[in-house]
Structure 1
């Protein structure tokens, strides 16, 4: 009897120790805003300086860095897989259709990483650089700030299976696409507001401006045709927000109310569907939009991160060590 009690007590102790160890492991693998406080205390300043310099040279770069982060997180999680160059073992995401000749900002991330490697070699992941850079790019364009949790690690693989929302998607498809990533409808509408910045290529909106549709303002369509000919100029660029293309504001939503969304995936957010009320709210209140955008960006930046012993810390973001 005494032996049974002893064995039971020992088993319980072992379970308790194992449980504590598992909890400790889980805590170590959680993302934290203080992750680099001891190992690379100047990391955030280094990234911010690189982003500020890039955006000051070219205002459009703010949009590009936000988009780069989005395109990374929606493909096998926020693991910097989008930064990997083609190699004998890597099929690069850079040349996949949604990224080819459009995704940009790689050089800004590499510039920040080079400085980080000088300050604290092998410590800060490219995935974390990308997450912080998206935040700092938003701020540089006049948008909100938020606290980025850190501790992501970098993937050793990339995926050509690019599961990104299409600029031609309808509302139900958009809602479903974001839901599969753990983002709700409000998150989707808020994140779409990143289109208050940046530009789109002509072939992505040509059908919309030449289609004599009822969901587009005729004068707006006419204006956009000037730089997007009917049969040529696929790569010609046009600002997503014609009024304030370089300022992070809520004008994107005001445009939608007036049927002046450039992409189909923009205008469907205000087309008599489930998201009309959210668009109207953001058009009225810049504060509501910016708060929700910051919240949604935090959620997006935590899609399937590699932590703990998973992944690596790349020395150069475009290649494996």
Structure 2
């Protein structure tokens, strides 16, 4: 039985340079993405679709995905700035069309319920297990979508502010809305962000957070296509406009779709700034000492037997 993970990786590089965000944080140069694939395989995923750009396809295959050959079924989908109607193409545009579009381009290689993650987020094993198990529960259904939600306190960077999708969740555990807050960081011990009046506003550290970890049934591509077509017709000439998954999800909720929010106890980490690297390395080393990860994760033997 195929269980698919769609990895959004097109922002790791672009036509103006090579791959970015390939910092080694494991003892053998392992990246955050390496640990995500390891966790996904251990949870039960057996197919991965990397959404990348053709501009760095060869480099990605040589430096990244070749490590997983023989471990998991690997497919590719391509997100390009130019993949819109000709009247909206602009050679000066450098911004991709957003995470909703990134998922949409995978439609031809997905025929089963699938999970979605960002390539540069560390989600931890518990989150992949929740994602996998819930995907098994929605097989042979339609319109059955969910989000793996984190707690705000578990998603703050050690240094600097981050953008976080603050979720409103009702008593039934269903998502009501997602609102992006920019520059979220701890100030005086409390998570805060600068509001539109440039004033610090406090956030509840127990708030549910979207980290772009989703589960969908394949019928989502019909809604995604319709939403993206409407977005392009309205905002296609805006050089910075993009359609994110939270924007799409908010649209679907307003149309009456119910989306489950499934909480994970996992603690996120990422390389928001160069100063984060040492903290991430220390944490990975701690997880290795606890036996959660082997010292080296690239080999097939490690993935199958550890």
Return the TM-score normalized by structure 2: 0.23
Q: Higher strand fraction: Structure 1 or Structure 2? A: 2
Q: Which is higher, the Rg of structure 1 or of structure 2? A: 1
Return the TM-score normalized by structure 1: 0.23
